[in-house]
């Protein structure tokens, strides 16, 4: 009996530790190797996957469904084609003091519901310009010491208020009509996100990856949602969308969270980054989020483009594209431009790349290394792309070919904005208006 028992134990030991795959058993060493193999895979070694034309013969003809304005920083998500067919000639400019940190953040022009333009200068002075080139009002609520910190301001507005959150942990509300201060509060951490208004509240994300809901009436906090704390204070402005009574936002680590907008309860959370990216999250930059047909689309500068089901957080598809520019949805297609200067047109249903064309062919090779796309809009039969060297590229939507390169400035410029068939572009001391 003892001999039989010992033989049985010996057989089981040999089976688990020595036998190979031919026996139907994995050896212990092979089993561990197999389990660890996926973790050993190096991801994104080549950060420039697409460096060639792809299906350039395919023609893209969009339907004539345009939106009046683009990138209005409020409840609207502003996806799709905008109406613009101007000649891109400078007709005027709105001047203000030079913004010293212009090169280090994503400048965003606020177009209000009253068709006025909101921006700020180097010391935190808020300026409200009319569409016909007049300064309606300006106001600065900062102390002398606060002005020295050169606060970067983020805005949202409705038909009564402008809500401001900044990079020195201050947030406040002012009158849209007069610019007068209504209330002002201080927070525990600076802010680094878009600001959006929904009903009686507004929402903003701070440097600690906390989404905060505040009352429009008096600035009191209603609720907050904490995500994993970042050790790096990212300079990236974070993005979120409001749709179907949900607020979906992304933090500096790439975690996508869906929140019930009334209660602040977490509905779902989806980590979108691989372990390889997570270890280098200090260099991670995500694009703005857009929502269309129950899907959320966004990309990052680590070769990932996502389509995620807004209802449950499930990743529908993922494509290998290197971009942190806000994508655009139109006619079942998703448009983006990679950091290497390739216009990509994607089938929104399955993530297949329909066409990939280079838009920087007319720029000399030695200059391309310094050039970075800043943002784009799709307008009728053309796409307008701004670059960090002050140039605006005009691209034909039909075939992706570059039609023109227009000098706007010698320094960094913002992405284009459209209002009443005029294009607006922000530089470090002025808003430029083009017909």
- Burial of 109 by CB count in 10 Å (0-12 exposed, 13-18 middle, 19+ buried)? buried
Strands 373-379 and 353-358: unpaired
Cα–Cα distance for residue pair 328/213, rounded to 1 Å = 27
Phi and psi of 238, rounded to 5°? -80, 160
Task: For residue 233, give the nearest of 290, 160, 293, 282 by alpha carbon.
Answer: 282
**DSSP class of residue 327?**
P
- Tell me the CB-side half-sphere exposure of residue 270, using CA atoms within 13 A: 17
Phi and psi of 140, rounded to 5°? -135, 120
* CA distances in angstroms from 86 to 64, 132, 359, 419, 423, listed in the order given: 17, 16, 20, 11, 8
pLDDT one digit per residue (tens) for the chain, 435 residues: 555 555 444 444 444 443 333 333 233 333 323 333 333 323 333 444 455 677 878 999 888 766 655 554 444 566 678 888 888 888 889 999 888 778 877 888 999 888 899 999 989 999 999 988 899 999 999 999 999 999 999 999 999 999 999 999 999 999 999 999 999 999 999 999 999 999 999 999 998 889 999 999 999 999 999 887 655 555 568 888 998 889 999 888 788 999 999 999 999 999 887 655 555 556 778 899 999 889 999 998 888 999 999 999 999 999 999 999 999 998 899 999 999 999 999 999 999 999 999 999 888 776 778 899 999 999 879 999 999 999 999 999 999 999 999 999 989 999 999 888 889 999 999 999 998
Largest pairwise CA distance in the chain: 101
Cα–Cα distance for residue pair 106/236, rounded to 1 Å = 7
Q: What is the pLDDT of residue 390?
A: 94
pTM equals 0.84
Task: For residue 238, give the nearest of 298, 296, 307, 310 by alpha carbon.
Answer: 298
Say whether 3 sits in a helix, a strand or coil. Answer: helix
Q: What is the pLDDT of residue 34?
A: 31
- Tell me the CB-side half-sphere exposure of residue 391, using CA atoms within 13 A: 19
Cα–Cα distance for residue pair 150/250, rounded to 1 Å = 26
CB atoms within 10 A of CB 348: 20
Beta-carbon contacts of 181 under 8 Å, excluding residues fewer than 6 positions away, are 139, 141, 172, 173, 174
């Amino acid at each position: 009996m003892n001999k039989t028992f010992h033989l049985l134990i010996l057989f089981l030991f040999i089976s688990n530790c020595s036998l190979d795959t031919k026996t139907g058993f994995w050896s212990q060493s092979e089993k561990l190797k197999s389990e660890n193999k996926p973790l050993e895979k190096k991801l994104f070694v080549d950060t420039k996957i697409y460096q060639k034309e792809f299906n350039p013969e395919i023609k893209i003809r969009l339907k004539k469904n345009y939106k009046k304005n683009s990138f209005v920083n409020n409840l609207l998500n502003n996806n799709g084609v905008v109406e613009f067919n101007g000649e891109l000639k400078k007709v005027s400019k709105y001047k203000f003091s030079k913004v010293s940190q212009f090169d280090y953040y994503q400048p965003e022009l606020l177009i209000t519901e009253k068709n006025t333009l909101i921006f700020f200068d180097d010391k935190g002075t808020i300026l409200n310009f009319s569409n016909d080139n007049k300064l309606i009002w300006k106001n600065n609520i900062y102390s002398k010491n606060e002005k020295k910190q050169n606060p970067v301001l983020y805005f949202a507005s409705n038909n009564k208020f402008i809500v401001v959150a900044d990079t020195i942990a201050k947030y406040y509300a002012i009158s849209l009509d007069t610019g007068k201060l209504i209330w002002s509060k201080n927070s525990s951490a600076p802010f680094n996100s878009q600001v959006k208004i929904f009903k009686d509240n507004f929402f903003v994300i701070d440097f600690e990856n906390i989404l905060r809901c505040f009352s429009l009436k008096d600035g009191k906090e209603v609720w907050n949602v904490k995500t994993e704390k970042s050790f790096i204070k990212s300079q990236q402005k974070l993005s979120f969308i409001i749709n179907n009574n949900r607020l979906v936002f992304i933090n500096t680590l790439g975690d996508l969270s869906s929140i019930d907008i009334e209660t602040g309860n977490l509905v779902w959370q989806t980590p979108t980054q691989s372990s390889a990216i997570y270890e280098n999250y200090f260099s991670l930059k995500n694009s703005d989020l857009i929502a269309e047909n129950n899907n959320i689309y966004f990309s990052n500068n680590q070769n990932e483009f996502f389509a995620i089901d807004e209802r449950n957080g499930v990743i529908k598809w993922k494509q290998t594209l290197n971009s942190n520019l806000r994508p655009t949805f139109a006619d079942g297609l998703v448009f983006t431009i990679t950091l290497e200067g390739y216009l990509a047109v994607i089938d929104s249903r399955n993530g297949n790349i329909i066409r990939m064309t280079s838009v920087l062919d007319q720029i000399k090779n030695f200059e391309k290394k310094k050039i970075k796309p800043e943002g784009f809009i799709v307008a009728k039969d053309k796409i307008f792309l701004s670059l960090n060297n002050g140039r605006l590229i005009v691209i034909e939507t039909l075939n992706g070919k570059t039609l023109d390169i227009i000098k706007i400035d010698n320094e960094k410029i913002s992405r284009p904005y459209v209002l009443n068939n005029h294009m607006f572009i922000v530089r470090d001391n002025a808003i430029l208006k083009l017909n």
